[in-house]
Amino acid sequence: MEKLIERESATRNPLVAAPALAVQFFLIPMAVIAVTVMVYVGFRSLVLTPRSPQDYIAEVRNGSRGGRWLAAMEL
């Protein structure tokens, strides 16, 4: 029974725990969100292309042999 009883009363100061709470509830979730947004933007930039379908059709009609094939695949 002696082990269950606290020997000293712990005084908790809310100012001491405030930085730990800020990190736990704000900074870590914000870091997770920032990484998620960066991954999304990275993959989105890989998918988007500035060329329109008309550009690809013109490449199929007038391009070189390798360029025609690639433009046809992109369409």
pLDDT at residue 9 in the model: 57
Give the HSE-up count for residue 29: Cα atoms under 13 Å, Cβ half-sphere: 5
* 52 three-class SS: coil
Domain chopping of the chain, boundaries: 19-74
Taking only the tens place, the pLDDT of each residue in 4-63 is 665 655 566 666 667 778 788 888 899 999 999 999 999 998 888 788 889 888 888 888
Residue 53 and residue 61 in contact, taking contact as beta carbons nearer than 8 Å: no
Q: Which residue has the higher pLDDT, 59 or 2?
A: 59
Q: Which residue has the higher pLDDT, 73 or 40?
A: 40
pLDDT at residue 64 in the model: 84
pLDDT at residue 25 in the model: 87
